[in-house]
Structure 1
Amino acid sequence: MTFVQETRTLTHQGALAILTAAVERAEQMGQPQCIVVVDANGEVLAEVRMTGAKFLSRKSALAKALTAASIGNETTVVPESVRTAIGLATEGKVTGLPGGLPIRLEGTLLGGIGVGSGSGDQDIEVARAGLAAIGA
């Protein structure tokens, strides 16, 4: 029986590197974004609402980050048929909207990034740019 398990965690430096790279990509696109980085427990490590981003998109970006960290997959894998029910059951904390990606390094789930305020494709592109900053 195992009573102790070693884990890897995303540091604040890693979260800031992700956030910085994501902001840079959003600026290159000319699309202000809300970007949220959470650890594997769903705790917010870094976030920004870029000047000009829709303020309510911060809530969807958080839900996207939480969903990706919780399921260990892209938010878009949440089946369309359950999206409304699961959103209601979790008080909006789980979503199937595009723009949420898990943060995975060497097979270990470290958290999630959520991006909102652009189109779904723009949100995903910005999230991927953030992940690339740490080789995820």
Structure 2
Amino acid sequence: MPRLPRDSAWKSWLFAGALVLGGLGCFSGGVAWALRSIYRGMEQELRRDDVHRLALRTAEASPRATELLGAPLTSTTLTLRAHGTTPEAGLVDFDLDVRGPRGHGVLQAQVAYTPRVWTLRRLVLRPEGGTDVELPAGDSTPARPPD
């Protein structure tokens, strides 16, 4: 009876390794996509409820911020840093790239969320080339009911 040729062991391991790496790549891509979807949804909520404008208005009302950047302030990019929400309430941290007539920087904001209102809890201005400046916070803006 003739002997059948057998594949070498390294070919089997190579095939198994490729399958495992391919599976891990697909899983990692799915996790990254899911996290980005969650963050994008929260960023849209912040913009829909004008929470970024609350941070801008509060910064413009601060003499220290207008001394450093001038007024009016405009924002270009909103970057979500962290959020932890429940259906009842939560906290959201985000950064706003801001620009004024005298310069630009980043506003770091922390807001608290309840189903009816967003409240600015902490606001820090980081001007380009300068040190962090804690700005007064505490203003709030209404939250819109979900669509």
Give me the TM-score of the superposition, normalised by structure 2. 0.32
Give me the TM-score of the superposition, normalised by structure 1. 0.34
Structure ranking higher on relative contact order (CA contacts 8 Å, 6+ apart): 1
Greater strand content: 2
